[in-house]
Amino acid sequence: MVEVGWPAPDFTLPDQDGHKVSLEDLRGKRTVLVFYPLDFSPVCTDQLNVYNEVLAELEAEGVQMYGVSVDSAYAHNAFQKHVGIRIPLLADFHPKAALAKAYGFYDERWGSSARALALIGPDLTIEWIHRSPSALEIPGANLIFDAVRAHAGTR
């Protein structure tokens, strides 16, 4: 499992529209990666709806957010449209869960990511990590804002 202060694991994943997003694309920005188990599940839908409601506030603070799950880009596209969220969704689909595994967030029992958050700084180092004790426990948006504000002005 990665730790605060370490370089963020490298990746290139397609988003819901099939466009490639790489770690290097995040350089110079503060980014929250939202690891969640699966599209269309009730708890994941609730979680992404909560974050979608505060997305404009995060963006006003210079933060970008990406959802990450083991679903395909096609499933992400349908999910994003169905739920009506603006958060870009990255497909950690093939090789399955490579990014979740790199972070130590892969849950072998369920074949999906654990529910976790990672704040990546503008220099691509990990500034903060939160892993929910249960897949049913949604990390509140307040945790994200607290982490972002704690690192404001750094790096």
C-alpha atoms less than 13 angstroms from C-alpha of 104 in its C-beta half-sphere: 10
Pairwise CA distance, residues 130 & 120, whole Å: 12
Of 72, 14, 7, nearest to 40 by C-alpha is 72
Which of 26, 44, 117, 126 is flagged as catalytic? 44
Rg (CA), the chain: 14
Ramachandran region of residue 22, left (φ > 0), alpha (ψ -120 to 50) or beta?
beta
Phi and psi at residue 125, to the nearest 5°: -100, 155
Peptide bond just before 95 cis, omega within 30 deg = yes
105 is catalytic: no
Of 23, 29, 28, nearest to 9 by C-alpha is 23
The catalytic residue positions are 44
